[in-house]
Structure 1
């Protein structure tokens, strides 16, 4: 049954395509809440998930979320044809995986197609992710899904060039190493088109940090032009629509706190296929709050990345890195951009410089510009001689930023609080998750100036009253909330040299 209904645009982002019908219209169509309907107008169509309004909406009218109106170009007051939509065939494939069966490449293609065409609800996508978590994919399935994810989005190509890239599995705050690695590698004459994500759970993604220095949103032709000019770029992958279904999977899995092992492999490698990558260095941070808790887990990830890379034509080398504390001292877009520039200027913290040079060195050795075992030394030389800084200025200018910007020009949020030690002792731990939560409470990454600056690191001695860290915010209210959270969840743990006395009783007579 089809029904003509007048559109009323609901100018509220829903995060998914939704159609709100009156009870009368829903009854006529024979649909219920969470059913699907197909909306057609002017030769275009979209599928939406049904909500039902008991009041506030006149019969013969419907509210459409922006996700639908943008897709088919409907304006307020226009009329569209609404018909019940059939259940997608991929529902059966999700059930098949939940039952522990293997899926073929065509099966994955059907699921991904339905995800991209909004034929699946978030509940159904969550069921698919849960099935992959409970019944892990084998390597054949992992290869198939990786290829399908890459094929269903836009791709970049750099003919005649060997393309190098770096990716981190994440979980460590302040991991701004790409802002050093890209100019180091590009300054050595290697091609490194770094497409990065925005923060989902962290205080700043690489794209958020780079955006402090220059625009990061470009289409495929613009990216290729910048790379052809400078050998490198630091841009937001979302501007190119790389592996778009993967972005949907990430958004759905986040609140579930699920991260299927093989889906993580697909997520990374699909985007490397899409960016024409030939050689990839994988940063595998190990420690509290990361995906990798121990060396056994690190080895499993490394072997799987290497094997998947072989099957899809990308050479992969993995580096297990220390992930128990932030990289450098700064967490948050402006603070991280400032610290990265300071490192390029020759004044950055040793942890940031050491990690960046180590990872860049792997790429330099792979590209033949450094002999085996000398890559890190070569990277440090490029950094210390100012070649990386000059290259970074070229990249900033090519991306539309100010090439003359210095670290001193970058100002964090104008509201600041200093959190002091309440006792003397030694810093025995810095809790990554608490650092991120505090920075986000202060407004990061949306507020570029918000963030967290660590002043006392692990192993340092502190006296009562010493400033342990600073919190920056762009609003006084957010600063108060972040400072309150820091008191409730102290990110810096201090202990004395004596932990406990055993037995603990007093005077012996």
Structure 2
């Protein structure tokens, strides 16, 4: 059936067109069925029908559908019924707990990329993975399928090392330090980082406060081979693009299926041709990985997956019962990170974790005494010089200093209501307060933690300081801190136990 195209200014979350009920009946489609649209090119879209918003003989198409169909307003296009893609059957099979063949997994991934699956169907896929999971061979096939939907970067300089953190612990700003140490040792590590999904700050969120992170594939190759390192945002180029589409659906569901998470991580490593990978698995209460047993299980899966992908993988299970360092939020984390590279000896937790992780990578590269060598490179200033070389290559200032980075102009100290010792710091509450202050979108927002676990605190002493770019968000963050106090203070005395008869 031929219908006349009319542009419809609709920012739809689905790949959708609007048609008159009579035209739908003539074609034989109902609400949420699919139609194939043929203009200069061909595409498939979901149908929404109406008898008031659109006239007979007209098909309303938003810009993404117009572009995909190669159509222009006023032109006629052929519109016919389109069957559900075969991948829907594969999704149903996974919902039933069955094992999928490589071709079935590839069809699901390709159909997500081509907008052939609705959000409901993608949600069903994610839910099936969450409930029934995948075996390691399925995850390997899933990883390869995701990687090959986007660009594959082939470096002339070999081998390629990489580093990834599971995240889930606030203040984990070690990536630029690790990359700078490793690159200063002559090992190439083109690190593609992410933005925050559910946290208060991802690596790219704070790195972009001092240099460009949206870098194309050619520049990634050039900068990495010239400097040995990189701090780029993976979403700034066409690397494993299906992952970004899935995350947008995954986030409101509040689930992160193990198979999807592993394939998401590894697809980006396959795309940049990594030969060696270190994975940081922060482990502790309030993180993605709550116990050592769960962390070891992830480590086994990752190493098994690496064997199937011809990649040597090692894992570092790291302490995550409290934030790493003192700063949480983009500018605050950037300032703390750079100050350590400049030579600051604090916070020691950031230095220790960065050197331990960099040391493992150096060991993997055949450089003996990895952790000791990493500390030597950091303390000598070689890591700072390499850091600045990478920053300048990514468009940053050659005279950058940590003191140039100034947090939000609105701030408030949160003080202890009693004396004692810091018993617990709740990571989730720290993140909630930082997000309430505006992080990560507001670069100056976040908090500085003054007291960590085990430290003595007196009544009225500052526990942490909240920063915000405006008063409204500062007020909201303060209210969040009052509602969900992130710091538990206890005395050394837990309980007094005495006999019934007290001496007179």
Same fold per superposition (TM over 0.5): yes
- My pick for the range that moved more, 133-142 or 23-32, is 23-32
| Shift of residue 294, structure 1, vs aligned partner | 1.6
How many angstroms apart in 2 are the aligned matches of 1:504 and 1:196?
60
Whether the 8 Å contact between 1:5 and 1:81 is mirrored in structure 2 is: no
How many angstroms apart in 1 are the aligned matches of 2:13 and 2:179?
33
Unaligned runs of 5+ in 1: none
| Shift of residue 65, structure 1, vs aligned partner | 4.1
| Shift of residue 40, structure 1, vs aligned partner | 3.4
| Shift of residue 468, structure 1, vs aligned partner | 0.9
Change in Cα spacing, 1:414 to 1:23, as seen in structure 2 (3 Å) is: farther
Whether the 8 Å contact between 1:7 and 1:74 is mirrored in structure 2 is: no
SS in 2 for 1:285: strand
Whether the 8 Å contact between 2:177 and 2:354 is mirrored in structure 1 is: yes
How many angstroms apart in 1 are the aligned matches of 2:283 and 2:105?
31
Which residue number corresponds to residue 99 of structure 1?
Answer: 96
Change in Cα spacing, 1:86 to 1:328, as seen in structure 2 (3 Å) is: same
Whether the 8 Å contact between 1:3 and 1:83 is mirrored in structure 2 is: no
| Shift of residue 91, structure 1, vs aligned partner | 0.6
How many angstroms apart in 2 are the aligned matches of 1:269 and 1:51?
37
Cα deviation per residue 1:192-249 (whole Å; 9 max; x = unaligned)?
0001111111111111111011111111111111112211110011122111112222
In the alignment, which of 404, 413, 423 is matched to residue 408 of structure 2? 413
In the alignment, which of 187, 206, 211 is matched to residue 190 of structure 1? 187
In the alignment, which of 343, 349, 352 is matched to residue 351 of structure 1? 349
Whether the 8 Å contact between 2:5 and 2:60 is mirrored in structure 1 is: no
In the alignment, which of 124, 127, 139 is matched to residue 127 of structure 1? 124
Which residue number corresponds to residue 268 of structure 1?
Answer: 265
Change in Cα spacing, 1:411 to 1:267, as seen in structure 2 (3 Å) is: same
Which residue number corresponds to residue 360 of structure 1?
Answer: 358
Whether the 8 Å contact between 2:437 and 2:474 is mirrored in structure 1 is: yes
| Shift of residue 368, structure 1, vs aligned partner | 2.0
The TM-score, its normalising length taken from structure 2, stands at 0.94
In the alignment, which of 277, 285, 289 is matched to residue 288 of structure 1? 285
- 1:45 is the counterpart of 2:51: no
| Shift of residue 143, structure 1, vs aligned partner | 1.4
In the alignment, which of 175, 180, 191 is matched to residue 178 of structure 1? 175
Which residue number corresponds to residue 209 of structure 2?
Answer: 212
Which residue number corresponds to residue 491 of structure 1?
Answer: 486
Whether the 8 Å contact between 1:47 and 1:85 is mirrored in structure 2 is: yes
Cα deviation per residue 1:311-340 (whole Å; 9 max; x = unaligned)?
111001111100111111111111111110
How many angstroms apart in 1 are the aligned matches of 2:148 and 2:24?
37
Q: For this pair of structures, how many residues does the alignment match? A: 503
How many angstroms apart in 2 are the aligned matches of 1:202 and 1:280?
23
Change in Cα spacing, 1:65 to 1:376, as seen in structure 2 (3 Å) is: farther
Which residue number corresponds to residue 472 of structure 1?
Answer: 467
1:253-402 matches, cutoff 5 A: 253-347=250-344, 348-369=346-367, 371=368, 374-402=369-397
How many angstroms apart in 1 are the aligned matches of 2:33 and 2:221?
43
SS in 2 for 1:9: coil
- My pick for the range that moved more, 450-459 or 351-360, is 450-459
How many angstroms apart in 2 are the aligned matches of 1:165 and 1:389?
19
Cα deviation per residue 1:94-117 (whole Å; 9 max; x = unaligned)?
111112211111111111111001
How many angstroms apart in 2 are the aligned matches of 1:454 and 1:70?
49
| Shift of residue 36, structure 1, vs aligned partner | 2.4
Which residue number corresponds to residue 3 of structure 1?
Answer: 3
SS in 1 for 2:8: strand
In the alignment, which of 121, 130, 141 is matched to residue 144 of structure 1? 141
Change in Cα spacing, 1:100 to 1:393, as seen in structure 2 (3 Å) is: same
How many angstroms apart in 2 are the aligned matches of 1:316 and 1:323?
21
1:155-166 matches, cutoff 5 A: 155-166=152-163
Whether the 8 Å contact between 1:6 and 1:79 is mirrored in structure 2 is: no
In the alignment, which of 425, 433, 450 is matched to residue 430 of structure 1? 425
| Shift of residue 159, structure 1, vs aligned partner | 2.4
Whether the 8 Å contact between 1:357 and 1:376 is mirrored in structure 2 is: yes
How many angstroms apart in 2 are the aligned matches of 1:70 and 1:435?
44
How many angstroms apart in 1 are the aligned matches of 2:208 and 2:70?
30
How many angstroms apart in 2 are the aligned matches of 1:40 and 1:390?
56
- 1:457 is the counterpart of 2:462: no
